[in-house]
Amino acid sequence: QIPAMYYFHAATGLYFRMPSIFVQFFLLTFLTVENSAVQSPICNSMIPSISLSNGVEMPQLAMGTCFRDTMKDENNPSGLPLNPNFFGFLPERTHRALTHALAMGYRHIDTALVYRSQKAIGSVLASHFASGALTREDLFITSKLYHGSMPGLTRKGTTLDLENMTPEEVSVAVETQFETILEELNLGYVDLMLLHWPAEMDSKHEGNAARRLAAWKVLEDCFSRGWARSIGVSNFSEAHIEQLMEDGAKILPMVNQIEASVYKQWNGIADYCRGKGIGLMAYSPLGMGKASLLADPILAGIASKHNVEPAQAAMRYLVQLGYAILPLSTSEKRLGQNMGVFSFELDDTDMETLGKLKSMNEGIGLPSPY
């Protein structure tokens, strides 16, 4: 199968999908003849944004790039038929999914050093920059660093053995990770850099606060140098943020990215962030997926009422709560459906009904931020 690309014909307003070799020939042959100021062949985005505390506009829909297969356990093989022993991240799924997403109008890309998807993102973006389809200013790139070790899942170098590190060692490691992220993305700066976790997962180590502060001060320094247009945290509780500021942080985090769905709510964290003007991002907005949340009859009924898919209703709920959402998909169909969350609105009754489902308290299995 010949690789395909998307092309937006500005004069006619038509949107084409054709083999990339034909697109290249068409662009080289006709583009300068038709109009030297022809618009980008990538469709313009109509996604609303959230204003962060420093005035930076963050698109409310992001493409997630944490592609992985973690199905394997003692009783089950992986989801890869040719490699049943596999357990880990799959960055190769990024190229095609991101190409589709950019063509549809996605402009916010969420990644992290630990996901191993950044080189693929850099490759896709480079091709768009080279063709003139996109400029750096068209995009909002979020990445994350400072992730504790996860033996058996992550590779050496993408995580840190935090409990065996001094604050001084953390400072050096975090700056190195920041530089690595920019190199892998092949970019001069990111739009948002987050501390991925407040500590090793489930850790109550007495040195965690000092290490967090050391890591945050590196982000503050990189922000002052323009390596990031905004900085924030991920999986932080309100206590973590309060402690960070009390211990000497100069800049209040601009974003807190947390797990959130119709079934999973950290209301205390969300209310605290809203009160402090900290933007909220929701990862895993569909929870465990079709086997659970998306099969919920209450959610299905509300979706049917609005003539949308259950996934769209579930994500719309979070949008109306003020979250930026970052669903994960390689499906061209579902990527398109995700864009549809801005085409309808839930009424007060819908929001109240869905709000009650948080009692399910079902997430994807990650530790509590507390």
pLDDT digits (tens, 9 = 90+) for 245-283: 999 999 999 999 999 999 999 999 999 999 999 999 999
pLDDT band at 130 (very low <50, low <70, confident <90, very high): very high
Give the C-alpha separation, 90 to 93, whole Å.
6
Judged by average pLDDT, the poorest of 39-48, 188-197, 256-265 is 39-48
Q: Where does residue 276 fall: left (phi above 0), alpha (psi -120 to 50 degrees), or beta otherwise?
A: alpha
pLDDT at residue number 290: 60
pLDDT at residue number 123: 98
Give the C-alpha separation, 242 to 179, whole Å.
28
Q: What percent of the chain has pLDDT over 90?
A: 75
Residue 13: pLDDT above 50? no
Residue 114: pLDDT above 50? yes
Catalytic residue among 115, 263, 283, 323: 115
Give the C-alpha separation, 203 to 29, whole Å.
60
Average pLDDT over residues 314-323: 98
115 has catalytic annotation = yes
pLDDT tens, residue by residue, 281-301: 999 999 876 668 999 999 999
Give the C-alpha separation, 192 to 111, whole Å.
10
Tell which residue, 154, 253, 262, has the closest CA to residue 201.
Answer: 154
Which pTM does this prediction carry?
0.86
Residue 110: pLDDT above 80? yes
- Please write down the HEC assignment for all residues of the chain: CCCEEEEEECCCCEEEEEEHHHHHHHHHHHHHHHCCCCCCCCCCCCCCEEECCCCCEEECEEEECCCEECCCCCCCCCCCCCCCCCCEECHHHHHHHHHHHHHHCCCEEECCHHHCCHHHHHHHHHHHHHHCCCCHHHCEEEEEECCECCCCCCCECCEECHHHCCHHHHHHHHHHHHHHHHHHHCCCCECEEEECCCCCCCCCCCCHHHHHHHHHHHHHHHHHCCCECCEEEECCCHHHHHHHHHCCCCCCCCEEEEECCCCCCCHHHHHHHHHHCCEEEEECCCCCCCCCHHHCHHHHHHHHHCCCCHHHHHHHHHHHCCEEEECCCCCHHHHHHHHHHHCCCCCHHHHHHHHHHHHHCCCCCCCCCC
Residue 315: pLDDT above 80? yes
Give the C-alpha separation, 362 to 354, whole Å.
14
pLDDT at residue number 351: 98
Judged by average pLDDT, the poorest of 27-31, 127-131, 150-154, 182-186 is 27-31
Tell which residue, 40, 41, 5, has the closest CA to residue 20.
Answer: 5
Which domains are delineated in the chain? 57-70+86-253 (3.20.20.100)
Tell which residue, 135, 123, 116, has the closest CA to residue 95.
Answer: 123
Phi and psi torsions of 66, nearest 5°: -90, 65
pLDDT at residue number 28: 36
Phi and psi torsions of 286, nearest 5°: -110, 15
Cα separation of the two ends of the chain:
49
pLDDT at residue number 62: 97
Give the C-alpha separation, 201 to 148, whole Å.
7
Structure tokens at 90: 């799959």
Give the C-alpha separation, 10 to 97, whole Å.
24
Give the C-alpha separation, 57 to 55, whole Å.
6
Average pLDDT over residues 185-196: 98
